């Protein structure tokens, strides 16, 4: 089996984009070298902010073939996750804290045609991961508290990132199933090497 060496993927969030120029902003970050587009969807229930929905993602999908990762900070999750998958998201990521039936939610995402992502807030333990890893294609570690852009990186996230990377590496060697690791929030030129 090949060694565990998942790719480094740059996926800027469109949360800070000028929404009146969203298509042009997406084109710009892709021309600058971004690999994916990170699409933050918030419902003002799970987090105290309200953003955009699957209709906007569907329009972006018509404009780009780049992978789109829909990060859902919403509850309930199942019906909304399905809408984002149908709109063209390549990955649909839900928070472990946002659903009571995580195993089912991850299955619903995959059945809808997208790959499944599982997000953990900074203070949320990782125990759940071992029970659903066979249904997860990507793990997202929040390095800020979700809900707003422009926050500072939480340094204790580095320990969590290292723990997840070790877990995913062991899982890969045991099963051959490569799961991506994503880190979201407060990443900048000063801390990207540590991340």
Task: Please indicate, yes or no, if residue 1 is contained in any of the structural domains.
Answer: no
- Cα dihedral 177, 105, 85, 161 sign: negative
Position 26 scores a pLDDT of: 96
Task: Please indicate, yes or no, if residue 128 is contained in any of the structural domains.
Answer: yes
Question: Given a cut of 90, is residue 166 above it in pLDDT?
Answer: yes
Task: Please indicate, yes or no, if residue 193 is contained in any of the structural domains.
Answer: no
CATH code of the domain covering residue 44: 3.20.20.70
Position 6 scores a pLDDT of: 87
Task: Please indicate, yes or no, if residue 23 is contained in any of the structural domains.
Answer: yes
pLDDT band per the 50, 70, 90 thresholds, residue 186: confident
Task: Please indicate, yes or no, if residue 147 is contained in any of the structural domains.
Answer: yes
Cα torsion 18, 180, 31, 52 to 10°: value is -20
Question: Given a cut of 80, is residue 59 above it in pLDDT?
Answer: yes
Lookup: tokens for 79: 């019906």
Mean pLDDT over 61-87 rounds to: 96
Catalytic residue list: 40, 184
Question: Given a cut of 90, is residue 191 above it in pLDDT?
Answer: no
- Low-confidence winner among 73-82, 89-98, 138-147, 186-195 (lowest mean pLDDT): 186-195
Mean pLDDT over 71-95 rounds to: 97
- Cα dihedral 178, 15, 87, 24 sign: negative
Task: Please indicate, yes or no, if residue 24 is contained in any of the structural domains.
Answer: yes
Q: What does pLDDT average to over the chain? A: 94
The domain in which residue 143 lies consists of: 14-184
User: If phi over 0 gives left and psi between -120 and 50 gives alpha, with beta otherwise, what is residue 150?
Assistant: left
Question: What is d(CA 121, CA 113) in angstroms, rounded to the nearest whole number?
Answer: 25
Task: State the DSSP string of 1-13.
Answer: -----PPP----B
Task: Please indicate, yes or no, if residue 132 is contained in any of the structural domains.
Answer: yes
Task: Please indicate, yes or no, if residue 54 is contained in any of the structural domains.
Answer: yes
Cis amide linkage into residue 183, ω under 30° from 0 = no
Give the count of domains, the chain.
1
Position 33 scores a pLDDT of: 96
Mean pLDDT over 40-68 rounds to: 95
- Low-confidence winner among 122-126, 139-143, 185-189 (lowest mean pLDDT): 185-189
């Amino acid at each position: 089996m090949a060694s565990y060496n998942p790719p480094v993927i740059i996926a800027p969030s469109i949360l800070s984009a000028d929404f009146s120029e969203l298509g042009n902003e997406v084109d710009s970050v892709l021309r600058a070298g971004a690999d994916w587009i990170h699409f933050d969807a918030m419902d003002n229930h799970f987090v105290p902010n309200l953003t955009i929905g699957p209709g906007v993602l569907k329009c972006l999908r018509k404009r780009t073939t780049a992978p789109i990762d829909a990060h859902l900070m919403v509850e309930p999750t199942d019906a909304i996750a399905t809408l984002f998958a149908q709109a063209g998201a390549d990955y649909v990521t839900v928070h472990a804290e946002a659903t009571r039936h995580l195993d089912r939610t991850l299955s619903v995402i995959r059945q809808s045609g997208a790959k499944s992502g599982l997000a953990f807030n900074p203070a949320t333990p990782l125990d759940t991961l071992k029970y659903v890893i066979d249904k997860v294609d990507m793990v997202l570690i929040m390095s800020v508290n979700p809900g707003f852009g422009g926050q500072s990186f939480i340094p204790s996230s580095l320990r969590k990132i290292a723990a997840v990377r070790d877990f995913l590496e062991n899982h890969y060697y045991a099963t051959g199933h490569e799961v991506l690791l994503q880190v979201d929030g407060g990443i900048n030129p000063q801390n990207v090497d540590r991340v």
